[in-house]
Amino acid sequence: MSEHILEIRHLGKAFGAHEVLRDIDFTVDAGDVISIIGASGSGKSTLLRCINLLETPTSGEILYHGTNVAGRGVSAAKYRSRVGMVFQSFNLFNNMTVLENCMVGQRKVLGRGKAEAQAQAVAYLNKVGMAPYIYAKPRQLSGGQKQRVAIARALAMEPEVLLFDEPTSALDPEMVGEVLAVMQALANDGMTMLVVTHEMAFARDVSSRAVFMHEGVICEQGAPAALFGDPQRQETRDFLARFRSA
Ligand SMILES: Nc1ncnc2c1ncn2[C@@H]1O[C@H](COP(=O)(O)OP(=O)(O)OP(=O)(O)O)[C@@H](O)[C@H]1O
Ligand SMILES: [Mg+2]
């Protein structure tokens, strides 16, 4: 059995002739909080979508505890209950209440009974400060509240790893902080997280490792203090400089 939770090996993805990811190698261990940064179009979302089995890699392997999940015979729904994902656009079910949103996966994928699923949902909604809204529909919520519900929904599955794809990018500026605070609390609790983000302060201050992607490859990765404070590659320096002047 592999010591790593996830091991990405030589992962490649092409859309037609367009190679979007090339030879991506990295590992995710328990308690890692990994930030993935990089310019628009560098392949960050595609990488996360491959890891969540929303895209099929063109080459390479995604090992989850040593098993290649990009191969045949893997239940995507079961795997996603272990490796959950939070999207930029929340992806809540608009016809369901907050509570139902946080129960449906537990009922359908984990086979939990109604009482247990409800208790779990309420516990995690409470954790993200959304317990007062259990009977609300998503349209009645602000963006920040919706994202906190989406995080509670993912947590209610009790995943081993959570993937976040720019969880604050669709939010009005005044709501970014409440979502980042929830994510910071999760990181402090030891949750294993892979976070694609443009929030450089989060990447620098909260993550245990930062990965800089450039044109479909991992250009540089390391401790956030080193990557932000003393980047080794010119591409990393250029990217960070653009961010600082933005
Ligand atoms: N389904 C698709 N079909 C064809 N090309 C795609 C598809 N999805 C992504 N791409 C292309 O792959 C490249 C990488 O896209 P991706 O969304 O992974 O970038 P990103 O780093 O997440 O960018 P952003 O910061 O803007 O979210 C882009 O050139 C994009 O146009
Ligand atoms: Mg993206």
Q: Tell me which residues have their CB closer than 6 angstroms to ligand 1.
A: 15, 18, 20, 38, 40-46
Task: For residue 21, give the ligand nearest its CA.
Answer: 1
Distance 213 CA to ligand 1 centre (A): 13
Q: DSSP assignment, residue 167? A: T
In degrees and rounded to multiples of 5, residue 81 shows phi and psi of -75, -20
Ligand 1, atom 9: closest residue by C-alpha: 46
Indicate which atom in ligand 1 lies nearest the CA of residue 18: 5
The band of 143, judged by pLDDT with boundaries at 50, 70 and 90, is very high
The model's pLDDT over 112-135, given as tens digits with 9 standing for 90+, comes to 999 999 999 999 999 999 999 999
The pairing of strands 217-222 and 209-214 is antiparallel
CA of 135 to the centre of ligand 1 (A): 36
d(C-alpha 220, C-alpha 232), whole Å: 8
Q: Which residues contact 29 (CB under 8 A, 6 or more apart)?
A: 3, 4, 5, 192
Ligand 1 atom at minimum distance from 88 CA: 27
Atom 24 of ligand 1, residue of closest alpha carbon: 40
Give residue 21 CA to ligand 1 midpoint distance, Å: 10
Task: Kindly tell me if the per-residue pLDDT of 202 is higher than 90.
Answer: yes
Summarised one tens digit per residue, pLDDT across range 15-40 is 999 999 999 999 999 999 999 999 99
Distance CA 74, CA 68 (A): 9
Report the share of the chain in percent with pLDDT over 90.
94
Residue 108 Cα to ligand 1 midpoint, Å, equals 31
CB 64 within 8 A of CB 6: yes
Ligand at minimal distance from the CA of 54 is 1
The one-letter amino acid at 165:
D
Using the predicted structure, report yes or no on whether residue 228 has a pLDDT greater than 80: yes
Secondary structure of residue 175 in the 3-state scheme:
helix
What's the Rg (C-alpha) of the chain? 18
